[in-house]
Chains A and B, each alone.
Chain A
Amino acid sequence: GQNIDQPTEMTATEGAIVQINCTYQTSGFNGLFWYQQHAGEAPTFLSYNVLDGLEEKGRFSSFLSRSKGYSYLLLKELQMKDSASYLCAVGQAGTALIFGKGTTLSVSS
């Protein structure tokens, strides 16, 4: 079966660093994606990992370990606008993405 787990909620303060973890057990794997979704809006693409290691993109970094079925999204220098849901998604053969339930991040001042 398909199983993608991530924490339901996290809180942090402005300027801090937060790490959102994701573990997955899926029948196929064509890469791991992270999306940001603000309430009532469509998801926007943040990052993609297909090989083990760290991918850095400005304030956002994403890590993948395929052998452990594990990824994390690291957000640095948190800003209030980073309050959103963060979705971990696994790429499947045939190009569809299977999403986790999302982690709601609340950033306070």
Chain B
Amino acid sequence: GAVVSQHPSWVICKSGTSVKIECRSLDFQATTMFWYRQFPKQSLMLMATSNEGSKATYEQGVEKDKFLINHASLTLSTLTVTSAHPEDSSFYICSAREGYSYNSPLHFGNGTRLTVT
């Protein structure tokens, strides 16, 4: 089945530094990838839609200058949390759909737990 690989699994960084999270589709091409954020005991909140070769589309309330998304190829999207602060500590999960049909399920990476100290 379709596999989405996300790296790193966890990261601890100091306030003010930047962190890059990679999301790769291993055995399929993903024109579109989605980035979600999940706080403890909360639902997955869609942050942005990452489109290969074009600018990402951000959800309302998500700062595009703080959460930089780059979708350089059909198998790789990156999320960079710039100037991280403790309130950015969360579980970040990427996902991708295999194929173009809307009824294909999203496949999720294993997530990245970010802790900002």
User: Which A residues form the contact surface with B (CB < 8 A)?
Assistant: 30-31, 33, 40-45, 48, 50, 87, 91, 93-102
Min Cβ gap B55→A in Å is 15
Quick check: A97 and B106 within 8 Å, CB to CB? yes
Given A31-B102, A98-B46, is A42 in contact with B111 using a C-beta cutoff of 8 Å?
yes
Beta-carbon contacts of B75-115 to A below 8 Å, as 1s and 0s? Answer: 00000000000000001010101000011011111110100
- A95 touching B102, Cβ below 8 Å: yes
Q: Are A91 and B108 in contact (CB under 8 A)?
A: no
Query: Which of A33, A94, A96 has a CB less than 8 Å from the CB of B105?
Result: A33
Chain A residue at smallest Cβ distance from B32: A95
User: Are the C-beta atoms of A91 and B103 separated by less than 8 Å?
Assistant: yes
Interface residue tally of chain B, by bracket?
20 to 34
Q: Which residues of A contact B106 (CB under 8 A)?
A: 33, 45, 97
Structural contact, B46 and A48, CB atoms closer than 8 A: no
**Residues in A neighbouring B32, C-beta threshold 8 A:** 95
How many angstroms from the CA of A98 to the CA of B106 in the assembled complex?
11
Q: Could you say which residues of chain B place their CB within 8 Å of the CB of A42?
A: 6, 93, 108-111
A103 to B45, CA, bound (A): 16
Give bound CA distance, A101 to B44, whole Å: 7
Of the candidates B44, B91, B102, B107, the one whose C-beta lies within 8 Å of that of A99 is: B44
Q: Please give the distance in Å from A10's CB to the nearest CB on chain B.
A: 15
Of listed B6, B36, B49, B102, residue having the most chain A CB within 10 A: B102
